[in-house]
């Protein structure tokens, strides 16, 4: 498909891609911890698995950013989507710590690859159409779409095990659905995320090598910025505190809901509902910011 001819069409594509991207993720949120514990993974082991996931994402976030510049945004997004699908497959098949470790590592690598290319595509596309255009409304619409999609996914992902009657197979069912939806998202990426790239200068291997050599300087620059810029340090500190709280909630809350509800499938339904409300609130806030900007303009 050709690049979008107008800013409105670019925004529509951007929002559709956001909704399709985060719906399968939302499906798996209520059952990720419960599936692992149902298959014998202890709480301390789960903590280590989540730590491994976080380390993978944090380590690869900057190095993988340059891949989109070398390979193009669409190939990188498709690679991240494929890895998410493989991670869901690993979750379905895992029956112990090694299997779940593989699942979390694949999930982390896919998340790092998928972090940013679509947003960068939208910003560049809008500015190619109109260099003076404000991208904030489109980014707000994107945030509302991914929050809403996560909310719907979490609600459905929590209900699926209950509707299927319980058991580990029922807890794994949302991951199977997520694999199918990843294929839908990949198809949408191929059709909607069109970009015009300049001709490649030199071989792909040479460009990849150049990009890899630039990684240490990029990391050093990011560290210097984090240490020298006070507002940026504050943002990082708040993000770290929020991240710790979120991980603790996602690790402990599902198990507590199981205790209160009396079974894993009922606990998943309750936790999915709570997560849906949380994601829906975030989506509403993003939509509210978009409306406020419109009134001010």
189 pLDDT above the threshold of 90: yes
Long-range contacts, stretch 207-211, CB < 8 angstroms, 24+ apart: 207/70, 208/70, 211/66, 211/67, 211/69, 211/70
Q: Is 134 a member of any domain?
A: yes
Q: Is 203 a member of any domain?
A: no
Which pLDDT score, from 0 to 100, does residue 241 have? 75
* CATH code for the domain of 19: 1.20.1250.20
Which pLDDT score, from 0 to 100, does residue 290 have? 55
Supply the pTM of this predicted model.
0.87
Which pLDDT score, from 0 to 100, does residue 294 have? 52
- 223-238 per-position pLDDT tens digit: 676 677 778 678 777 7
Q: Is 30 a member of any domain?
A: yes
Q: Which of 188, 49, 187, 154 is nearest to 108 (CA)?
A: 49
Mean pLDDT, all residues of the chain:
86
Residue 138 domain boundaries: 7-195+212-296
- 133-174 per-position pLDDT tens digit: 889 889 999 999 999 999 999 999 999 999 998 889 999 999
Q: Is 207 a member of any domain?
A: no
Question: Which of residues 216 and 182 earns the better pLDDT score?
Answer: 182
CB atoms within 10 A of CB 199: 4
Indicate the pLDDT class of residue 9, thresholds 50, 70 and 90: very high
Q: Is 200 a member of any domain?
A: no
Q: What 3-state DSSP class applies to 130?
A: coil
How buried is residue 5: exposed, middle or buried, by Cβ count under 10 Å (0-12/13-18/19+)?
exposed
Indicate the pLDDT class of residue 215, thresholds 50, 70 and 90: low
Q: Comparing 88-92, 150-154, 186-190, 291-295, which segment has the lowest mean pLDDT?
A: 291-295
- How many domains are there within the chain? 1
- 70-112 per-position pLDDT tens digit: 778 888 999 999 999 999 999 999 999 999 999 999 999 999 9
Helices (H), 29-116: 32-38, 43-71, 73-93, 97-113
Q: Is 204 a member of any domain?
A: no
Rounded to 5°, angle at Cα 267 from 261 and 269 = 115
Indicate the pLDDT class of residue 201, thresholds 50, 70 and 90: low
| Tokens representing residue 193 in the block | 């995320």
Q: Is 31 a member of any domain?
A: yes
Ranked by mean pLDDT, the top range of 114-118, 146-150, 283-287 is 146-150
**Dihedral class, residue 42 (left if φ above 0, else alpha if ψ from -120 to 50, else beta):** beta
Among all chains, which residue has been given the structure tokens 């993720």? 25
Q: Which of 148, 139, 137 is nearest to 118 (CA)?
A: 139
Which pLDDT score, from 0 to 100, does residue 291 have? 53
Q: Which of 261, 97, 83 is nearest to 185 (CA)?
A: 83
Are the CB atoms for 146 and 243 separated by under 8 Å? no
Rounded to 5°, angle at Cα 274 from 181 and 103 = 45
Which pLDDT score, from 0 to 100, does residue 248 have? 78
């Amino acid at each position: 498909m050709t690049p979008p001819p107008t800013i409105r069409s670019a925004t529509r594509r951007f929002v559709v891609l956001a909704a399709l991207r985060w719906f399968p993720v939302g499906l798996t949120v209520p059952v990720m911890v419960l599936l692992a514990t149902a298959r014998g993974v202890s709480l301390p082991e789960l903590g280590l698995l989540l730590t491994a996931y976080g380390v993978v994402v944090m380590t690869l976030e900057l190095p993988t950013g340059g891949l989109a510049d070398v390979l193009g945004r669409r190939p990188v997004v498709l690679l991240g989507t494929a890895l998410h699908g493989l991670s869901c497959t690993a979750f379905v098949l895992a029956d112990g710590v090694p299997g779940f470790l593989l699942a979390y590592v694949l999930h982390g690598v896919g998340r790092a690859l998928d972090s940013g290319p679509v947003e960068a595509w939208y910003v560049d596309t809008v500015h190619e159409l109109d260099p003076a255009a404000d991208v904030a409304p489109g980014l707000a619409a994107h945030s509302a779409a991914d929050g809403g999609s996560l909310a719907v996914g979490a609600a459905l992902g929590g209900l699926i095990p209950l509707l299927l009657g319980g058991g580990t197979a029922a807890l794994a069912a949302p991951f199977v659905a997520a694999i199918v939806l990843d294929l839908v998202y990949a198809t949408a990426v191929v059709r909607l995320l069109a970009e015009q790239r300049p001709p490649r200068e030199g071989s792909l291997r040479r460009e990849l090598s150049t990009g890899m050599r630039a990684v240490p300087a990029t990391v050093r620059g990011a560290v210097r910025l984090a240490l020298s810029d006070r507002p940026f340090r504050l943002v990082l500190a708040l993000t770290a505190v929020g991240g710790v709280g979120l991980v603790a909630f996602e690790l402990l809350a599902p198990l507590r809901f199981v205790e209160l509800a009396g079974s894993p499938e009922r606990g998943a339904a309750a936790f999915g509902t709570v997560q849906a409300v949380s994601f829906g609130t975030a989506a509403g806030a993003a939509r509210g910011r978009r409306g406020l900007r419109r009134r001010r303009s």
